[in-house]
């Protein structure tokens, strides 16, 4: 939503922020969505996972509707820029921006790794984790904030490239199990390699034109989750 607003208002702000406009505006949008999900979850008296997920779905639909509204009132050129950004792409990624924000991603990943033993217990069940001394609310808050910051940073650079953060962890979990100390670094590097392969495919499928990488990952994501659905014995096995 933040990036869409920037593209719509770029005529007024382009001189002031230049190429950093989509980056800053999308980060601001990420912080706003994180704050709204946090506020809704807290208003329900705690930090329950089910409430947080439902709040995320509601905020997602709300912002998606606003993005469509911004596209509708934009001129043809701005509407096309919004559409291309929403599809996700690595084509115009600036190396300087990547280097500047890599610190956030690396530190966030290291923090998740430091929480790995507690996350393992949480995965086994909240009652078990609490009995082992895990402070559930504090742990959930840390994971929520760190994951939101890392995702917001990545999306601000490349746009919302869907399904990578869902397919890769599932695939790695099938091979490595639920040990997050091993799983986290594996997902980090396998996810990057998978995205590079998808980017290569997006450049070759319609060469010399380039297909937005978000389309490639979405085409792979649908069949992947259909396969997961059919191999799972129950809905709880999906996550």
Q: What would the pLDDT profile of 3-18 be if each residue is shown by its tens digit?
A: 888 888 875 455 455 5
Using the predicted structure, report yes or no on whether residue 235 has a pLDDT greater than 70. no
**Tally of residues, the chain:** 239
Q: Is the pLDDT of residue 178 over 70?
A: yes
- Confidence (pLDDT) at 15: 47
Which of 16-20, 146-150, 194-198, 223-227 reaches the highest mean pLDDT? Answer: 194-198
Percent of the chain beyond pLDDT 70? 90
Mean pLDDT on 195-224: 85
Q: Taking the complete model, does pTM exceed 0.85, yes or no? A: no
The more confident residue out of 22 and 185 is 185
Query: Would you place residue 234 in the very low, low, confident or very high pLDDT band (cuts 50, 70, 90)?
Result: low
Q: What is the pLDDT of residue 232?
A: 65
């Amino acid at each position: 939503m933040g990036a869409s607003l920037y593209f719509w208002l770029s005529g007024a702000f382009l001189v002031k922020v230049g190429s950093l406009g989509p980056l800053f505006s999308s980060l601001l949008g990420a912080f706003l969505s994180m704050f709204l999900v946090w506020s809704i979850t807290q208003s329900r008296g705690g930090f329950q996972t089910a409430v947080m997920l439902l709040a995320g779905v509601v905020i997602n639909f709300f912002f998606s509707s606003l993005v469509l509204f911004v596209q509708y009132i934009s001129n043809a050129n701005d509407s096309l820029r919004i559409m291309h950004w929403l599809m996700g792409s690595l084509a115009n990624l600036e190396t300087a921006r990547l280097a500047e924000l890599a610190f956030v991603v690396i530190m966030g990943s290291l923090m998740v790794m430091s929480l790995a033993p507690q996350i393992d217990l949480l995965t086994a069940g909240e009652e078990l984790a609490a009995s082992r001394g895990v402070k559930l609310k504090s742990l959930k808050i840390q994971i929520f904030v760190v994951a939101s910051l890392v995702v917001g940073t990545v999306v601000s650079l490349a746009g919302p490239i869907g399904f990578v953060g869902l397919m890769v962890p599932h695939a790695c979990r099938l091979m490595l199990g639920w040990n997050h100390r091993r799983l986290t670094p594996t997902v980090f590097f396998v996810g990057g390699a998978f995205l590079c392969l998808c980017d290569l495919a997006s450049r070759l499928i319609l060469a010399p034109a380039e297909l937005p990488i978000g389309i490639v990952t979405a085409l792979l994501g649908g069949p992947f989750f259909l396969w997961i659905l059919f191999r799972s014995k129950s809905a709880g096995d999906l996550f």
